[in-house]
Amino acid sequence: MVGSRYSVLSLVSLLLLNLWATAQLAASATASSITECTQLKTTLNYSQSNSPRDISQVLRVVVEKVNRELEGVIDVDVEWTGSELHRKVGQYTIKSSVTRRTTSPSGLEITAKECFEVPFVIEDTDECSLPVGHVMAHKCHESAACVNTNGGYECKCEGEGLWGKSLMEGTVRGKPSTEGECEEGDEECRGGFVCPVDPCGVNGASDCDVAKGAKCASEVFKDGTGVKYTCQCPSKTLGNGHVCTASDDVPSPKVGFDGKPTEATITADYCSCTTPSVDQCAGFPACAAKNTACKTQKDGSSPSCECKTGYVETKEHGCVDETPPKLKLRCDPDGDGVTRLRQGDNYEECAVDIEDDNAEDLARTLKITYSDPLPSGCLRKMGEFHVNYTVATPWTEPPFQRVTRTVRVGDLDECKISAQEESHFCLEALPRCDISAGAICKNTPGSYTCECPKCTEGDGFLPISGLKLNDPSSPVNYSGGTGCTDNCKPTITLKGPNPKVFRACKCGGLLGMTKHARGIERNEGEAGNFDADVKALIKASSGAELCATKENKDVVEPGMCAAAVDHTPDGVVDLTAQIQVGDPVKHPTKKNSWRVPYNVVDKAGNRAQTVWRDVRVDELTFDELEAVMREEFEVEKKKAVEEAVAAASRKERQDCEGQKRELRVELENAADDGPQNKRGKRARGASSCPKCETCPPPPTCGEDDGKSTTKLSNELRTCKTDLANAKRRGAAAVSDSDADERSNILASLEDLFPLFLLLIVGCSAVGLLIMILQRAKSVLGGGGADGKTGKASNDERAAALAKSVYYHSPRHGAQPIGSPNGNGNGGGVRTRSSQQSPLFGGLSSSGAGGGQAGSQGGAQGGGVSGVFSPASVGSVQSPAYSLSPITPRSSRR
């Protein structure tokens, strides 16, 4: 058993060893496959001056080449060294580890990681030929010559002997060149290398008569501290070579037939350089230089080879045609030298056409310069720039020929670029307004701006990649692309009563009929319960109780108490459903008063200004409650009368207008149905019918009582009379003698109609007044039971008030007013009904009373109290309260 167990372990060990070896071989194979890199076909070539200094410039090009030459690329890793980024001339290789997903011949998808090399070549830039101001232009002293080297340059003194070594005043002394003397990149050392300066310059010293061929001959002092010079005349001329002054004699040198100057010429020391007199051109050898010929001098001196007519002599090119080359702009259809483009276009160089007769003899150089640097992409700046094309002509004055192209870049209305046109413009020209947030694109001269709509803030732009703040090319008002955010606060409007008033009965003890004395106040401390009641009402009704009134108490909802709106770029948003009703806050100075806050927050987080509704609880005694009821009844009665009068006025006015229409139709029908010979007369009668006066407008609610039923009836009578007269005149115009009789009868009946109408209206008004008086009498207790005094007795008033329920705050722990042993000696009634009040929707509670003994106690205790209380009820359960709006209304009958 043990042996078998060891054999199993051995087999497992061998299996694990085999797996490990296989994994190592696979990893080695993978590593070797990745290490062996394949070089891409194309090579990245840069000159030193244009070589990238930032790896981001290389990465984009490398990755783009990998993606262009390889298929299935899903991942690229790029490796580089610092030498690629320091403008060092040479060949480099940038390695890219590429993960590709390909398909095998059998159709299987294979993901493999391969290594590729991107050749990278930096070629030498001739620093010596770069223009002044170029970042890579040489820094050699003006006395030294620049010599380009592979990857750099050196400063060298031109000339032989002492002329070829630097002076003692420079950084490198007595050396022909900075080579081996200055370290690589040491611009200060090379700039301080000073060579001997030839005082003769290009055209000789300033006092040498260069015009006459005098040459300046200079010499360096052996100690390397300076130079000296002399003016030397050319061969076949005589003189000291200096420019002649006013005091000098006119030079007239002479030579003999042997060509040597005479003694007088030697001793005269003539200025300048003058050709001595010789024989004429006969037998003079032919001129070897091109475009030259032998010419004699007017003074009879020896002939010389000079440029032919039409040619001018140059030092370097000999005799050349004095006519300079002609330059003509290409791509100039209007011939005005102006190329018209607009922002977003690319500038393409068309160059010039050159017409030059000397082109076959002399080398020419065309130089193109731009007044503003050209962007690598499209043109973004509005305005104009110039392109100068220059060809050197050193024999002319000025020593060049030039033609200029003016490029005018007009404004592009970025805001009008359609989606179909976007592909024709570069990305920099497309507007970047936050349109989704309501931003509006507006064109400006040379640019554009984005404006946020009302109730938002921000610069209105989307972030623009690669653009820095305060960049001159930034769009107008661009501040980093903050877009447009909502900044308008919602507004809340309260509905319903404000302040909201609750009423509660105030238990003030017994009050006698004479009202000279009152019992003990029993309402102390009860106001403390109102705070909890108000909070409970708001919580139970979700705030709906705060806007409930007698008219809407059955249909009131929380959303009816306040409205909230938010003005956004998309329009007005209703936030009523999101209004938060806060807990009531006790007023610091007013008794039984609270303030209830309303708040709401919009989607953007803007909080509305808090709106407050005032809540007040009025505690009333029975006398005060009765006075309030009477006042409210009078208001309702007055309102009912005004509405009834207004309704009657509107109806009469409608009837008046209806009669007008009927009369107009009747007259038109009568004119159409009459005999032929009477049609003209009827037409004349109809045309003479006067226009009815406009009926008076209906009285509005709240007008004086002077517009009574009688006044309205008089006004209506006038309207009716005018209508009757109009009808009578119309009938007279249409009918003959028999028609006149019928018209008179009809007119008489119509004259009596206003009287009948007035009688009906008067009777209706009297009946309505009687009903109102009876209603008021029954409610106010008018007309006592005895029918003599016109006032109700105390028992009748108590019986009437028993049909209504009054509420007041209970006093916890107070003993009921009545006989504690039920014998009726309590002297008052202390009971409250617990049913829902038909008059008030207010605080209701149950109390304890003395039952029958309570009513008897009223008689035994000195008569009926001046405090109104409902009828006695049976035994009472524990008190319960509910605070709601108290609005008086008539009791049920």
Weakest mean pLDDT among 485-499, 716-730, 789-803, 844-858: 844-858
pLDDT-derived band at 892, boundaries 50, 70, 90 = very low
Six-digit token pair at 696? 């008076």
587 & 469 share domain: no
Alpha carbon distances (Å) from 133 to 153, 389, 777: 16, 20, 113
Judged against a pLDDT cut of 60, whether residue 662 lies above it is answered with yes
Are 515 and 597 members of one domain? yes
Q: Which amino acid is at 565?
A: V
User: Across 204-208, 523-527, 534-538, 738-742, which has the greatest mean pLDDT?
Assistant: 534-538
Average confidence (pLDDT) over 374-387 = 88
pLDDT band at 491 (very low <50, low <70, confident <90, very high): very high
Q: Are residues 526 and 587 in the same domain?
A: yes
List the structure tokens of 14.
């061998």
Please report, rounded to a whole number, the percentage of residues in the chain having pLDDT higher than 70: 65
Give the pLDDT confidence score for residue 873 in this predicted structure.
31
> CA 472, CA 477: separation in Å to the nearest integer?
11
Q: Is position 852 within any domain?
A: no
* More confident of the two residues 774 and 86: 774
664 and 754 in one domain? yes
Question: Residue 315 — very low, low, confident or very high, per pLDDT cuts 50/70/90?
Answer: confident
Do 641 and 775 lie in one domain? The reply is yes
CB 356 within 8 A of CB 401: no
Is the pLDDT at 94 greater than 70? The verdict is: yes
Confidence class for position 331, pLDDT limits 50, 70, 90: very high
Residue 361 CA to its chain's centroid (Å): 66
pLDDT band at 425 (very low <50, low <70, confident <90, very high): confident
Q: What is the CATH number of the domain that holds 373?
A: 2.60.40
| Mean pLDDT on 243-264 | 75
Among candidate residues 437, 432, 433, the one with its CA nearest the CA of residue 603:
437
Nearest to 723 by CA among 825, 629, 788, 655: 655
What was the pLDDT predicted at 474? 87
Tell me: do 546 and 576 sit in the same domain.
yes
Q: Distance between CA 279 and CA 276 in Å, rounded?
A: 10
Displacement of CA 431 from its chain's centroid (Å): 13
**Residues 63, 70: Cα–Cα separation, whole Å:** 10
Judged by average pLDDT, the poorest of 461-465, 680-684, 840-844 is 840-844
Q: Where is mean pLDDT largest: 526-535, 667-676, 830-839?
A: 526-535
Work out the average pLDDT over 405-415.
92
Q: Which residue has the tokens 């209706």?
A: 764
Domain enclosing residue 299, as ranges: 281-321
My answer on whether 355 and 400 are in the same domain is: yes
How far is 499 from 596, CA to CA, in rounded Å?
10
Q: Tell me the C-alpha distance between 780 and 803, whole Å.
A: 13
For residue 81, pLDDT over 50 is answered with yes
Q: What is the pLDDT of residue 441?
A: 95
Give the pLDDT score at 743: 59
Q: Count the domains in the chain.
A: 9
CA distance 26 to 23: 5
Q: Is residue 344 part of a domain?
A: yes
Q: Are residues 16 and 53 in the same domain?
A: no
Residue 219, H or E segment: strand 215-220
Domain boundary among 138, 169, 197: 197
Integer Cα distance of 749 and 724 in angstroms: 9
Q: What is the pLDDT of residue 714?
A: 53
CA distances from 644 to 135, 760, 794 (A): 100, 16, 35
Of 489 and 558, the structure prediction assigns the larger pLDDT to 489
Question: Which residues, other chains included, contact 118 with Cβ-Cβ below 8 Å and sequence gap of 6+?
Answer: 39, 40, 44, 62, 65, 66, 93, 94, 95, 96
- CA distance linking residue 266 with residue 254, whole number of Å: 9
Per-residue pLDDT, 527: 61
Q: Would the pLDDT of 633 be above 60?
A: yes
Q: Are residues 464 and 539 in the same domain?
A: no
Least confident interval from 485-489, 500-504, 538-542, 796-800: 796-800
In this structure, is residue 160 part of a structural domain? yes
What is the pLDDT, as a whole number, of residue 870? 32
Report the range out of 3-12, 220-229, 637-646 with the highest average pLDDT: 637-646
Which tens digit of pLDDT belongs to each residue from 216-245? 888 877 777 777 788 888 887 888 888 898
Region of 611 (left: φ > 0; alpha: ψ -120 to 50; beta: rest) is: beta
Answer yes or no: do 97 and 61 share one domain. yes
Length of the chain: 893
Residue 388 structure tokens: 């100068």
* Separation in Å, CA 505 to CA 538, 627, 762: 21, 13, 44
Task: Decide if pLDDT at 707 tops 60.
Answer: no
pLDDT at 503 over 60: yes
872 within a domain of the structure (yes/no): no
The answer for residues whose C-beta is within 8 angstroms of residue 691's C-beta and 6 or more apart is: none
Q: Which of the two residues, 364 and 110, has the higher pLDDT score?
A: 110
Q: What integer best gives the mean pLDDT of the chain? A: 72
Q: Does 892 map to a domain? A: no
**Which DSSP symbol is given to 759?**
H
The yes-or-no verdict on residue 157 having pLDDT over 50 is: yes
Angle at Cα 236 formed by Cα 233 and Cα 237, nearest 5°? 45
Position 565 scores a pLDDT of 92
| Residue 255, beta-bridge partner list | 261
> Which position has the token pair 């610091």?
588
With both helix axes pointing from N to C terminus, report the angle between 622-673 and 709-734 in degrees, rounded to the nearest 10.
0
pLDDT digits (tens, 9 = 90+) for 788-808: 444 444 454 445 444 444 433
* Cα→Cα distances 792→642, 786, 797, Å: 29, 8, 6
Q: How far apart are the first and last CA of the chain?
A: 111
Of 76, 104, 123, which residue sits at a domain end?
123
- φ, ψ at 182 (rounded to 5°): -110, 140
Q: How far apart are CA 278 and CA 236, in angstroms?
A: 10
Question: What band does 404 get if pLDDT is binned at 50, 70 and 90?
Answer: very high
**Sheet with 400-410: strands ordered across:** 338-342, 400-410, 383-392, 366-370
Q: What is the dihedral of CA 758, 761, 763, 768, to 10 degrees?
A: -160
For the cut 70, the answer to whether the pLDDT of residue 720 exceeds it is: no
Residue 447 neighbours by CB under 8 Å, 6+ apart: 382, 414, 475, 476
Both 260 and 291 in a single domain?
no
Query: What's residue 28's pLDDT?
Result: 44
Residue 893, domain member (yes or no): no
Q: For the ranges 261-275, 482-496, 519-533, 569-583, which has the lowest average pLDDT?
A: 519-533
Distance (Å, whole) CA 227 – CA 219? 5
**pLDDT-derived band of residue 881, with 50, 70 and 90 as boundaries?**
very low
pLDDT (average), residues 440-453: 93
| CB hemisphere CA count around 616 (13 angstroms) | 12
Q: What DSSP assignment string belongs to 634-661?
A: HHHHHHHHHHHHHHHHHHHHHHHHHHHH
Longest dimension (CA), the chain: 182
- Give me the sign of the Cα torsion angle 249, 251, 252, 257: positive
Pick from 197, 222, 237: which residue ends a domain?
A: 197
pLDDT score of 29 more than 60: no
Question: Lowest-confidence range among 31-45, 636-650, 680-694?
Answer: 680-694
Highest mean pLDDT, choosing among 402-416, 764-778, 859-873: 402-416
Least confident of 41-45, 221-225, 318-322, 724-728: 724-728
Both 308 and 390 in one domain: the answer is no
Is residue 832 situated within a structural domain? no
Looking at residue 867, its pLDDT comes to 34
- Return the SS3 of 123: strand
Instruction: Work out the number of other CB atoms within 10 angstroms of the CB of residue 463.
Output: 12
Tell whether 405 is covered by a domain.
Answer: yes
pLDDT band (50, 70, 90) for residue 689: low
What is the rounded distance in angstroms from the CA atom of residue 858 to the CA atom of residue 856?
5
Return the amino acid letter for 293: A
